[in-house]
């Protein structure tokens, strides 16, 4: 019998005013930091295995300032009995609410201080980031499944997304209508086709750029708000 899969998520640490918002990177010495939401720790184990160990990205860059304001969705695998019944985190997606840095900052990071902190010219979008599935669980539809769960959650939770948008943007921007279902992502070029299958369209005007020595393109999709 095959594995069974379940999904769980964590809210932004910024919403939890009772605990610290300092999210800790799990390490062999401290695999379950007590101040982290457990699902954040599980997400980090998948992110570390895929982006740091497999793709060679810097561990320092893996946890970033977007973590505290983001929702993350994690798929867990459970082996059939009589094997171990422990659930293993195997796939992750992180949803970062608006606002986001202007695209110029990405194209020319050395000049970041010359650009505004947030892009206020374009429509606000929820950004899908850190899409990863452990190597041994690929090809089972788990990326598609965790993306669907995240998109469906976003479509049903405009208010929560707008609240975090307001909180982070502060007085920096004029919000007319808030978030209107636009979802964006930076796709590693080798998986552009995968996102096309999921309904994302490449925005050619953004060009191709380097992030962590991997070439990326910008892609967007609109989800219907519930």
Which residues are near ligand COA by CB under 6 A? Answer: 50, 131-133, 138-144, 187-188, 190-191, 193-194, 197
Smaller CB distance to ligand COA: residue 120 or 188?
188
Q: How far is the CB of 178 from ligand COA (least distance, A)?
A: 26
Instruction: Give the number of other Cβ atoms within 10 Å of residue 202's Cβ.
Output: 16
Q: How far is the CB of 192 from ligand COA (least distance, A)?
A: 8
How is residue 188 written in tokens? 């590693």
Report how far residue 118's alpha carbon sits from residue 200's, in angstroms, rounded to the nearest whole number. Answer: 23
Q: How far is the CB of 126 from ligand COA (least distance, A)?
A: 15
Report how far residue 147's alpha carbon sits from residue 221's, in angstroms, rounded to the nearest whole number. Answer: 12
Smaller CB distance to ligand COA: residue 68 or 92?
92
Q: How far is the CB of 176 from ligand COA (least distance, A)?
A: 30
Any idea of the CA torsion for 15, 176, 129, 113, to the nearest 10 degrees?
A: -90
Smaller CB distance to ligand COA: residue 107 or 214?
214
Q: How far is the CB of 199 from ligand COA (least distance, A)?
A: 11
Residue 127 CB partners (closer than 8 Å, separation 6+): 95, 96, 98, 100, 183, 184, 185, 186
Residue 163 CB partners (closer than 8 Å, separation 6+): none
Report how far residue 194's alpha carbon sits from residue 88's, in angstroms, rounded to the nearest whole number. Answer: 24
Q: How far is the CB of 145 from ligand COA (least distance, A)?
A: 7
């Amino acid at each position: 019998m095959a594995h069974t899969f379940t999904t769980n998520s964590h809210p932004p640490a910024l919403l939890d005013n009772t605990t610290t918002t300092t999210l800790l990177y799990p390490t062999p010495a401290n695999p379950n930091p007590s101040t982290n939401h457990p699902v954040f720790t599980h997400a980090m184990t998948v992110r570390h295995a895929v982006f740091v160990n497999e793709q060679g990205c810097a561990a320092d860059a893996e946890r970033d300032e977007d973590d505290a304001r983001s929702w993350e969705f994690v798929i867990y695998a459970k082996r059939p009995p009589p094997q171990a019944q422990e659930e293993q985190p195997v796939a992750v997606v992180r949803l970062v609410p608006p606002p986001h840095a202007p695209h110029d900052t990405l194209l020319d990071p050395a000049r970041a201080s010359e650009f505004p902190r947030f892009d206020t010219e374009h429509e606000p979008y929820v950004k899908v980031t850190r899409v990863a599935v452990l190597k041994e669980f690929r090809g089972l539809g788990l990326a598609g499944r965790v993306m669907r769960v995240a998109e469906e959650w976003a479509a049903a939770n405009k208010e929560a997304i707008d609240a975090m948008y307001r909180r982070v943007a502060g007085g920096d921007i004029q919000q007319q209508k808030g978030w209107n279902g636009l979802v964006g992502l930076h796709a590693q070029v080798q998986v552009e086709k995968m996102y096309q299958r999921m309904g994302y369209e490449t925005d050619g005007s953004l060009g191709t750029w380097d992030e962590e020595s991997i070439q990326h393109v910008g892609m967007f999709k609109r989800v219907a708000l519930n």
